[in-house]
């Protein structure tokens, strides 16, 4: 099985008024196409930083990252943005919908940013798949938390323009109650399975981590445990 | 088209309304003021040119070479001619010395003659002077000559029919030629009249009007050929007082327009900053969705361009409309029909929109493009930017260039910015003092208010500077306006003397004093006047002096008195109460002659020569309309020399016939009537004052709107805080009080800084731009902080009132 995402010896440091602060320390991982990886760990363990680096939102201080065949650590911001536009989707804990745009316009945005035609049709399809067909013209403030996260999921799936699609989810149930959280997770895995996308998920919830094919646990910026998918494992069995 | 689509979506979401309304406000204000200033300035210029009755005048004591006039004709200039002299006219055995003004069919090129064709009839506008064979006269000549309208008047050998009464002539001058009542005639009648003989004292005025460039080229060609008896007059030479009033008014109106730009740009800056902050999250999301920096920049630049164009178009339309309505409403106040609007105010408005957008809205957008997409994961929207200085430099620089362009005056622009810089530096300092003070110990509301000020310390510096700018503009405007108008009115007090009596024989003085007293007219002192020429200084002939001032090339009016006139002041040396001999010299003439106290001046008076030491230097006000002298001798020095007396007095229009009685009773006395010219000057000054007051009103409205925009920039945070405090049990009354305290303190601090800034700005302006004496304005120090506290306190509290009045749950939900 070919790796869609590989990280080698990642280090990340930031400078603070008290001197340099190491956020990530020597992290290596490999994620196969169609795999789902859960990243867990306590607050401040470096989960979100790792997610940002893997998605190309920032560059590591040292180490290498290959995302869909591109070595993104060597790229500048514009080049990394182009990679993101092609094969990265995001679901955030706080939904991050643009409040001035309707549900439909929020989902249209990624296609519009790529300058694609038929953005509205594509967005309508995705919103129908997350069950929000009747709410297309509603603004985020007119939607419940669960509905907003469904719009965000639709937007994330609308973000891909290539087969090499990776969905990054940063605590997607963190702002939702248990009932809504479960529904969102079901939806996320269902769409992930249907679209054959790769899922990288940051979460605190063990129950959610257990649904993923592989699991990386972090502490103080380093990998505490890593259970990658072995060659013999079947993705469909694990994610079902 | 993505930027436009996003713009429309953003607009629908209400995000862009504030930035657009600030831009519209900026462009509207500036366009309205620029239109108004443009029309008013052109109206005033037009009206002022009527003082000359032309755009340029060539004055000569002899007829000029006819080739010169043909050349003007060849260059397409309009021409007119005036021949002016004093002469005797007669009718019914009555003789009267009058001031004759003979004009050709070209006169007047600018302005209008106003006449009445019946004694009680309405005033009519005459496009030209009287036709040949006719004369128009001042009404007081009728009783003097015992004639009626329609009767004949003999001017030399010709008879002229008096067909109209002269009400107003545009170029009524102040010269000594204007002795006696005015008689208007046609130049065609002069040869037959035969009144102009070789040696007659006649003044020729050749009037020109036409295209500016053609006029300039013609006079560039003509000037080298002029003799010393010929002079070209334009507005500033013809009427220096009016020209300087106009210059100052123009400076002032442009200053007002510049301040409107500054105020509006502060509003744009505040709105754009808020927009930038709120959009940081959006940009981070868009970046995570794959939009690069260039894409983001393209989107926001496209949005800004579209927004600027739309807002500018609306502002231009609104500004033009408001100005047209204002001019319509104030039609009655304009002494002349205001000229149509021109394109230049629209250009100024457009440039303003562009400068505000580029200078103030662009830096937050550049900053947006640099947003770190990792923020979406960190949930931190503070977005610190090391290049924030760019915004601080770009905005003020754009404004500096715009104000410079608007005012055309670098000094004025720099003066404005000196005040501004003081303000920004001071804001940081005052803000620091404010939050570190012990005001919090005053109680609950003060503690909440101080806490709020502390939490927003950096932003408050910006707010104080912004409020301070608005207040500075208003204060500088109010005080500059007051100083200007007061000074103009002081120059021409309501009852300034408007008649001079000359050539009064010494033995007529008591009788004349008596007659004036009976007519209840109070005159200035009667000054003896001796004609004499300054011939030498310390034994050296004056002729050897290079650059001799005009005053000493001709005979001077010398006088002596014990009493120093109220407008005279001894600057150096002693007045006659302490010194017993010598001469007191006017200070500017003394400087030109390089005199020192004690220098021996030799005068030639009626063929006799006498010497006197310089006893003092004296300043005086030539504008006081009182008799004034370059040289005042100690009593006893020239008392024995033959003298006539001079005095001046104020005569209200209804007592005008007293002049006739004076002329009849003292035929040898010359009367110079200045009442009409003073009225013209006063009209112009009133018009200028009115213009300034109108612009002031517009500025005040702009200032208040900017303050509200400033408060609105931080309203969301304030609403949230207030809602949280209320949720925790804080009472409405407490919150309201804390709002009043917080905004009152901000306003007080801004007002204090504005007072300092305005004082500095006024000092620079009065010193170098308006050329007025330097004075401190204690009222400003009181008005500034109090107005600031009241204005910002009220505006801020009203703008935030919804946080106190709305249910906290609603506020929190809306802001979530």
- pLDDT tens-digit series, residues B93-139: 888 878 899 999 988 888 778 888 887 778 888 888 999 999 999 88
CATH of the domain at B619: 2.40.70
- Host domain of residue B543: 523-649
Give the per-residue pLDDT at A37: 92
**Between chains, do A155 and B289 touch, taking CB under 8 Å as contact?**
yes
- pLDDT at residue B571 above 60? yes
**Between chains, do B2 and A90 touch, taking CB under 8 Å as contact?**
no
Q: Pick the range with the lowest mean pLDDT from A187-196, B28-37, B256-265, B576-585.
A: B256-265
Please say which residue of B238, B259, B288 terminates a domain. B238
d(CA A45, CA A125): 38
Residue B495 forms contact with A (CB below 8 Å) = no
**Do residues B230 and B345 share a domain?**
no
Q: Closest Cα partner for B513 from B528, B525, B503?
A: B525
Higher pLDDT, B482 or B82: B82
Residue B377 forms contact with A (CB below 8 Å) = yes
- pLDDT tens-digit series, residues B676-709: 767 766 666 666 666 666 666 666 666 666 666 6
Who among A112, A141, A170 is closest to B2 (CB)?
Answer: A112
Q: How many domains does chain A have?
A: 1
Residue B74 is assigned to a structural domain of this protein: yes
- Contact list, A52 vs chain B (CB under 8 Å): 373-374, 377
d(CA B669, CA B659): 11
**Do residues B396 and B466 share a domain?**
no
d(CA B678, CA B684): 10
- Host domain of residue A152: 3-239
From residue B364, how far is each of A57, B387, B391, B714, B733 by CA, in Å? 22, 10, 7, 16, 37
- pLDDT at residue B349 above 80? yes
Rounded to the nearest 5°, which phi and psi values hold at B381?
A: -110, 15
Give the per-residue pLDDT at B175: 45
d(CA B481, CA B758): 13
Q: What residue has token string 């590989």?
A: A6
Question: Of the ranges A89-103, B142-156, B166-180, B242-256, which is most confident?
Answer: B142-156
From residue B627, how far is each of B441, B524, B529, B675 by CA, in Å? 67, 8, 10, 15
CATH of the domain at A228: 3.40.50.300
**Do residues B110 and B255 share a domain?**
no
**Do residues B107 and B251 share a domain?**
no
- pLDDT at residue A92 above 60? yes
**Do residues B229 and B112 share a domain?**
yes
How high is the mean pLDDT of chain A? 84
Give the per-residue pLDDT at B177: 42
Please say which residue of B600, B633, B649 terminates a domain. B649
**Do residues B62 and B42 share a domain?**
no
Please give the average per-residue pLDDT across B170-175, as a whole number.
61
Complex confidence, ipTM: 0.83
Q: How many domains does chain B have?
A: 4
- pLDDT at residue B379 above 70? no
- pLDDT at residue B458 above 90? no
- pLDDT at residue B417 above 70? yes
Share of chain B above pLDDT 70, in %: 77
The answer to whether residues B404 and B410 touch, using CB atoms and an 8 Å cutoff, is yes
The DSSP element (H or E) to which B167 belongs, if any, is strand B158-168
Residue A171 forms contact with B (CB below 8 Å) = no
**Do residues B420 and B532 share a domain?**
no
Give the per-residue pLDDT at B174: 44
- pLDDT at residue B254 above 60? yes
User: Given pLDDT bands bounded at 50, 70 and 90, which one contains residue A239?
Assistant: very low
Residue B654 is assigned to a structural domain of this protein: no
Who among B15, B282, B288 is closest to A57 (CB)?
Answer: B288
- Contact list, B281 vs chain A (CB under 8 Å): 96
Give the per-residue pLDDT at A226: 84
Residue B670 is assigned to a structural domain of this protein: no
Q: At what angle do helices B66-74 and B212-222 cross, to 10 degrees?
A: 150
Residue B632 is assigned to a structural domain of this protein: yes
Residue B83 is assigned to a structural domain of this protein: yes
User: Given pLDDT bands bounded at 50, 70 and 90, which one contains residue B451?
Assistant: confident
Residue B696 is assigned to a structural domain of this protein: yes
Chain A residue whose CA is closest to B16: A100
Residue B388 is assigned to a structural domain of this protein: yes
What is the CA B341 to chain-centroid distance, rounded? 20
- Contact list, B13 vs chain A (CB under 8 Å): 99-101, 139
Give the per-residue pLDDT at A231: 47
Q: In what order do the strands lie in the sheet with A88-91?
A: A88-91, A166-170, A198-202, A36-41, A214-219, A222-227
Q: Closest Cα partner for B18 from B812, B706, B719, B703?
A: B706
Residue B512 is assigned to a structural domain of this protein: no
Q: Closest Cα partner for B86 from B503, B364, B475?
A: B503
Q: Extract the tokens encoding B168.
A: 């107003």
**Do residues B640 and B734 share a domain?**
no
Give the per-residue pLDDT at A237: 39
Q: Closest Cα partner for A169 from A60, A19, A3, A54?
A: A54
Please give the average per-residue pLDDT across A59-68, as a whole number.
91
- pLDDT tens-digit series, residues B313-334: 999 999 888 878 777 766 655 5
Give the per-residue pLDDT at B176: 42
Residue B378 forms contact with A (CB below 8 Å) = yes
Q: Pick the range with the lowest mean pLDDT from B68-77, B638-647, B658-667.
A: B658-667
Please give the average per-residue pLDDT across B67-80, as a whole number.
91
**Do residues B229 and B170 share a domain?**
yes
The answer to whether residues B215 and B208 touch, using CB atoms and an 8 Å cutoff, is yes
**Do residues B11 and B110 share a domain?**
no
- pLDDT at residue B811 above 70? no
Query: What is the sign, positive or negative, of the torsion defined by CA atoms of A84, A89, A94, A98?
Result: positive
- Contact list, A39 vs chain B (CB under 8 Å): none
- Contact list, B374 vs chain A (CB under 8 Å): 49, 52, 57-58
Q: Pick the range with the lowest mean pLDDT from B77-86, B206-215, B296-305, B658-667.
A: B658-667
Give the helix ranges, DSSP H, for B637-777.
Answer: 658-665, 675-713, 715-727, 732-764
Please say which residue of B375, B408, B441 terminates a domain. B408
**Between chains, do B376 and A92 touch, taking CB under 8 Å as contact?**
yes
Residue A126 forms contact with B (CB below 8 Å) = no
- pLDDT at residue A1 above 80? no
User: Given pLDDT bands bounded at 50, 70 and 90, which one contains residue B272?
Assistant: confident
**Do residues B347 and B457 share a domain?**
no
How high is the mean pLDDT of chain B? 79
| DSSP states along chain A | --EEEEEEEEEEEEEETTEEEEEEEEEEEEEETT-EEEEEE-TTSSHHHHHHHHTTSS--SEEEEEETTEEGGGS-HHHHHHHHHHHEEEE-TT----TTS-HHHHHHHHHHHTT-S-HHHHHHHHHHHTT-GGGTT--GGGS-HHHHHHHHHHHHHHT--SS--EEEEESTTTTS-HHHHHHHHHHHHHHHHHHT-EEEEE-S-HHHHHTSSEEEEEETTEEEEEEPPPTT--HHHHH-
Q: Extract the tokens encoding B293.
A: 């920096």
Task: Quote the pTM value.
Answer: 0.62
The answer to whether residues B301 and B361 touch, using CB atoms and an 8 Å cutoff, is no
Residue B302 forms contact with A (CB below 8 Å) = no
**Between chains, do A57 and B373 touch, taking CB under 8 Å as contact?**
yes
């Amino acid at each position: 099985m070919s790796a869609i995402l590989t990280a080698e010896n990642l280090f990340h440091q930031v400078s603070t008024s008290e001197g340099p602060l190491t956020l990530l320390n020597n992290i290596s991982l490999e994620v196969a196409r169609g795999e789902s990886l859960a990243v867990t760990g306590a607050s401040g363990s470096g989960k979100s930083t790792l997610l940002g680096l893997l998605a190309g939102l920032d560059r590591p201080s040292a180490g290498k990252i290959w995302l869909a065949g591109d070595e993104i650590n060597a790229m500048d911001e514009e080049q990394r943005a182009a990679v993101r536009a092609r094969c990265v989707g995001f679901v955030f804990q706080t939904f991050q919908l643009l409040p001035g745009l309707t549900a439909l316009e929020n989902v249209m945005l990624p296609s519009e940013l790529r300058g694609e035609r038929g953005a509205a049709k594509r967005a309508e399809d995705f919103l129908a798949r997350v069950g929000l067909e009747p709410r297309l013209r509603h603004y985020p403030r007119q939607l419940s938390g669960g509905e907003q996260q469904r719009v965000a999921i639709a937007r994330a799936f609308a973000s891909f323009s290539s087969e090499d699609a990776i969905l990054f989810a940063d605590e997607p149930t963190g702002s939702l109650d248990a009932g809504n959280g479960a529904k969102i997770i079901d939806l996320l895995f269902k769409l992930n399975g249907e679209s054959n996308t790769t899922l990288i998920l940051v979460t605190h919830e063990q129950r959610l981590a257990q649904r993923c094919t592989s699991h990386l646990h972090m502490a103080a910026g380093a990998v505490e445990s890593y259970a990658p998918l072995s060659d013999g494992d079947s993705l469909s069995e694990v994610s079902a | 088209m993505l930027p436009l689509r996003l713009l429309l979506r953003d607009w629908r979401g209400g995000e862009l309304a504030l930035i657009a309304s600030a831009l519209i406000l900026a462009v509207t204000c500036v366009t309205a003021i620029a239109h108004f200033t443009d029309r008013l300035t052109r109206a005033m210029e037009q009206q002022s040119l009527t003082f000359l009755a032309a755009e340029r005048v060539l004055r000569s004591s002899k007829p000029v070479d006819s080739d010169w006039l043909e050349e003007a004709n060849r260059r397409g200039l309009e021409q007119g001619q005036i021949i002016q002299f004093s002469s005797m006219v007669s009718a019914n055995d009555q003789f009267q010395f009058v001031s004759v003004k003979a004009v050709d069919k070209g006169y007047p090129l600018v302005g209008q003659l106003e006449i009445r064709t019946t004694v009680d009839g309405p005033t009519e506008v005459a496009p030209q002077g009287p036709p040949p064979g006719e004369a128009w006269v001042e009404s007081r000549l009728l009783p003097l000559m015992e004639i009626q309208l329609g009767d004949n008047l003999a001017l030399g050998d010709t008879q002229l029919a008096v067909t109209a009464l002269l009400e107003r002539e545009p170029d009524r001058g102040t010269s000594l030629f204007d002795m006696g009542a005015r008689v208007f005639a046609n130049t065609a009648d002069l040869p037959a009249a035969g009144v102009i003989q070789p040696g007659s004292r006649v003044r020729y005025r050749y009037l020109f009007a036409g295209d500016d460039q053609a006029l300039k080229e013609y006079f560039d060609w003509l000037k080298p050929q002029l003799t010393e008896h010929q002079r070209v007059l334009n507005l500033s030479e013809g009427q220096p007082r009016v020209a300087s009033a106009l210059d100052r008014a123009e400076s002032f109106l442009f200053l007002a327009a510049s301040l409107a730009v500054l105020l509006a740009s502060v509003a744009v800056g505040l709105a754009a900053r808020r927009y930038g902050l709120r959009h940081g999250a959006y940009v981070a999301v868009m970046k995570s969705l794959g939009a690069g920096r260039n894409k983001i920049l393209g989107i926001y630049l496209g949005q800004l361009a579209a927004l600027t164009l739309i807002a500018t178009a609306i502002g231009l339309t609104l500004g033009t409309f408001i100005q047209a309505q204002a001019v319509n409403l104030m039609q009655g106040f304009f002494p002349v029909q205001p000229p149509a609007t021109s394109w230049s105010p629209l250009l100024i408005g457009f440039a303003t929109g562009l400068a505000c957008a580029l200078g103030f809205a662009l830096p937050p957008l550049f900053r947006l493009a640099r947003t770190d997409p990792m923020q979406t994961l960190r949930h931190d929207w503070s977005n610190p930017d090391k290049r924030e200085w760019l915004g601080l430099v770009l905005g003020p620089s754009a404004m500096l260039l715009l104000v410079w362009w608007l005012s055309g005056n670098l000094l004025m622009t720099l003066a404005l910015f000196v005040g501004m810089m003081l303000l920004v530096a001071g804001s940081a300092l005052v803000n620091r003092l404010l939050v570190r003070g012990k005001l919090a110990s005053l109680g609950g509301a003060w503690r909440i208010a101080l806490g709020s000020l502390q939490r927003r310390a950096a932003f408050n510096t910006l707010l104080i500077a912004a409020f301070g700018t608005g207040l500075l503009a208003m204060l500088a405007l109010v005080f500059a306006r007051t100083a200007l108008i007061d000074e103009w009115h002081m120059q021409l007090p309501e009852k300034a003397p408007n008649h001079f009596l000359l050539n009064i024989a010494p033995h007529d003085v008591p009788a004349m004093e008596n007659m004036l007293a009976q007519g209840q007219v109070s005159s200035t002192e009667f000054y003896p006047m001796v004609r004499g020429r300054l011939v030498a200084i310390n034994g050296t002939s004056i002729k050897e002096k290079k650059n001799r001032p005009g005053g000493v090339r001709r005979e001077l009016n010398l006088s002596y008195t014990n009493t120093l006139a109220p407008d005279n002041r001894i600057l150096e040396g002693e007045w006659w109460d302490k010194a017993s001999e010598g001469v007191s010299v006017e200070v500017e003439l003394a400087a030109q002659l390089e005199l020192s106290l004690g220098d021996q001046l030799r005068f030639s008076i009626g063929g006799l020569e006498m010497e006197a030491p310089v006893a003092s230097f004296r300043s005086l006000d030539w504008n006081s309309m009182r008799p004034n002298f370059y040289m005042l001798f100690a009593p006893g020095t020239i008392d024995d020399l033959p003298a006539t007396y001079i005095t001046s007095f104020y005569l209200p229009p209804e007592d005008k016939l007293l002049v006739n009685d004076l002329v009849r009773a003292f035929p040898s006395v010359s009367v110079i009537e200045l009442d009409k010219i003073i009225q013209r000057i006063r009209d112009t000054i009133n018009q200028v004052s009115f213009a300034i007051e109108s612009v002031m009103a517009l500025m005040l409205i702009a200032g208040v709107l900017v303050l509200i925009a400033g408060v609105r920039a931080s309203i969301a945070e304030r609403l949230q805080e207030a809602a949280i405090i209320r949720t925790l049990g804080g009472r409405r009354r407490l919150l309201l009080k804390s709002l009043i305290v917080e905004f009152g303190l901000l306003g007080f601090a801004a007002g204090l800084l504005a007072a300092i800034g305005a004082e500095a700005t006024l000092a620079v302006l009065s010193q170098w731009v308006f050329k007025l004496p330097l004075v401190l304005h204690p009222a400003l120090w009181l008005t500034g902080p109090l107005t600031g506290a009241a204005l910002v306190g009220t505006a801020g509290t009203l703008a935030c009132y919804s946080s106190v009045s709305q249910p906290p749950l609603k506020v929190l939900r809306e802001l979530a």
